[in-house]
């Protein structure tokens, strides 16, 4: 079943002359894990916000085409209604702190209070996300006293606690160290395995290649392609679109080794290893 359907989506921010999103069309099935890649200002964040309804409801501006979430057209719903189905985590963790709660625990409860979750359920969900994102040890601290990485985990936890069917993440690991971002990706993957549909805008290509089922490549607001990581990262024109393939793929391209029986290059460490070990030196 298609969870997200985008048909000919066009969008222009107010006071801007160029289209931020130019005629995008794609479908996402329930439970899929989609990566959105592209250079800076390619439209990744705008696309993410279009899925939650912030585009066009928050910004206004010129909007064309249709976005359906679970069969409901985003343009005709309010952000509050869409936010029950779609959760979104933004790039900057500092501005996602509401500022009205004194502890991390209460901060995570903020969204749950707004959508009317009963107290016992609320406590169970908060405990679950604190554990999932490994931030129990800071649950009584003030949200503003956290490090960037902890704040980012808290921001993700706050959204996951609201149990959306679809989770949209806009560079959720920008403030995290390699070990921290690996942990966050593992947490996101475990949600994906539970059947939650995930849309992730990210610059860390190795992670995108490893975790995403399909990858959407954007350039200047236009969709270049949506396909499996193997197909996307094996494209010859990636650099024209301002994207570098995962380092493993680049090595294998230089060496000219492809995955057995296909025209694709390996995109993950494991694939590259198995292909390269198979070769006689």
Partner 1 sequence: MKSISLYVDKESFIHDFDPITKLLYILFALFLPLILLSFTVSFISVGVSIVLLMAAGVIRKTIPVFSFVFLVLITVVIIQGLFRPENETILFQIGPLAMYKEGLLYALTITLRVMNIVSAFLILVLTTKPSDLVETLVRKGMSPRIGYVIVSVFQIIPEMMASMSTITDAQRARGMETEGKLSVRMKAFLPLLGPVILGALINTKERALALEVRGFNSHVPKTYLYEEKTHALSKWVQAILLLLLVGAGVWRIFG
Contacts to partner 1 by CB under 8 A: 49, 52, 54, 58, 78-80, 83-84, 86-88, 90, 92, 94-102, 105-106, 109-119, 122-123, 142, 144-145, 155, 158-159, 162
The structure tokens listed for 87 are: 């959760």
Distance CA 138, CA 107 (A): 12
**CB closer to partner 1 out of 109 and 252:** 109
CB of 9 to partner 1, least distance (A): 19
Give the residue from 256, 74, 98 showing the smallest Cα distance to 168: 74
- Facing residues of 73 across strands? 68
**CB closer to partner 1 out of 145 and 237:** 145
CB of 96 to partner 1, least distance (A): 4
**CB closer to partner 1 out of 144 and 239:** 144
To which residue do tokens 């966050």 refer? Answer: 184
CB of 43 to partner 1, least distance (A): 17
* Distant-in-sequence, close-in-space partners of 229: CB < 8 Å, separation ≥ 6: 35, 208, 209, 212, 214, 215, 267
**CB closer to partner 1 out of 34 and 159:** 159
**CB closer to partner 1 out of 37 and 161:** 161
The structure tokens listed for 44 are: 């990744």
**CB closer to partner 1 out of 116 and 236:** 116
CB of 19 to partner 1, least distance (A): 21
Give the residue from 256, 254, 259 showing the smallest Cα distance to 273: 259
CB of 100 to partner 1, least distance (A): 4
Distance CA 231, CA 215 (A): 9
CB of 23 to partner 1, least distance (A): 25
Give the residue from 157, 154, 158, 185 showing the smallest Cα distance to 171: 185
Residue 48 burial class via C-beta count within 10 angstroms: exposed 0-12, middle 13-18, buried 19 and up: buried
């Amino acid at each position: 079943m298609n969870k997200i359907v985008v048909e000919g989506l066009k969008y222009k921010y107010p006071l801007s002359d160029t289209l931020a999103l130019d005629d995008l069309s794609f479908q996402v099935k329930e439970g899929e894990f989609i990566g959105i890649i592209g250079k800076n200002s390619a439209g990744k964040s705008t696309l993410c916000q279009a899925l939650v309804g912030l585009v066009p409801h928050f910004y206004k501006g010129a909007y064309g085409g249709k976005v359906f979430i679970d069969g409901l057209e985003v343009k005709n719903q309010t952000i509050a209604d869409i936010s029950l189905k779609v959760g979104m985590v933004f790039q900057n963790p500092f501005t996602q702190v509401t500022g009205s709660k004194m502890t991390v625990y209460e901060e995570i409860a903020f969204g749950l209070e707004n959508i009317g979750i009963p107290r016992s359920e609320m406590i169970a969900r908060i405990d679950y996300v604190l554990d999932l994102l490994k931030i129990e040890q800071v649950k009584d601290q003030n949200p503003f006293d956290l490090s960037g990485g902890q704040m980012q985990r808290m921001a993700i936890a706050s959204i996951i606690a609201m149990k959306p069917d679809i989770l949209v993440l806009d560079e959720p690991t920008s403030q995290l160290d390699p070990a921290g971002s690996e942990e966050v990706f593992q947490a996101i993957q475990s949600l994906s395995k539970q059947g939650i549909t995930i849309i992730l805008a990210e610059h860390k290509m190795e992670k995108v290649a490893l975790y995403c089922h399909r990858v959407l490549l954007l350039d200047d607001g236009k969709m270049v392609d949506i396909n499996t990581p193997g197909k996307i990262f094996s494209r010859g024109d990636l650099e024209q679109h301002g994207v570098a393939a995962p380092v493993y793929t680049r090595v294998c391209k230089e060496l000219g080794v492809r995955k057995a029986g296909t025209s694709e290059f390996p995109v993950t460490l494991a694939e590259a290893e198995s292909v390269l070990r198979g070769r006689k030196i």
